[in-house]
Amino acid sequence: MIAVNPAEVSADLVNFPLYVDLSTLGTNFWSAVASNGRDIRVTSGDGQTELPHDLVSINTTAKTGELHFLADAVDSATTTYFFVYFDNPAASAYYPTDTYGSQAVWAEYEAVYHFSDSSVAVDSYALDATANERHLLIEGAALATSTGRLGQGINLIGSTGILRNAGFTWTAGNPLVTSGWYKMPASSNESLWQWGTGASPDNLEFRPWYNTTGGLHYFGV
Question: pLDDT tens across 49-103, in order?
Answer: 999 999 999 999 999 999 999 999 999 999 999 999 999 999 999 999 999 999 9
Taking the C-alpha atoms of residue 104 and residue 180, their distance in angstroms, rounded to an integer, is 20
Among 34, 158, 50, CA closest to 99: 50
Per-residue pLDDT, averaged over 23-40, amounts to 97
Q: What is the distance between the alpha carbons of residues 59 and 122, in angstroms, rounded to a whole number?
A: 27
Phi, psi torsion values for 155, nearest 5 degrees: -105, 115
**Within the chain, how many helices (H) and strands (E) appear?**
2, 15
The reported pTM is: 0.90
User: d(Cα 85, Cα 64) in Å, to the nearest integer?
Assistant: 17
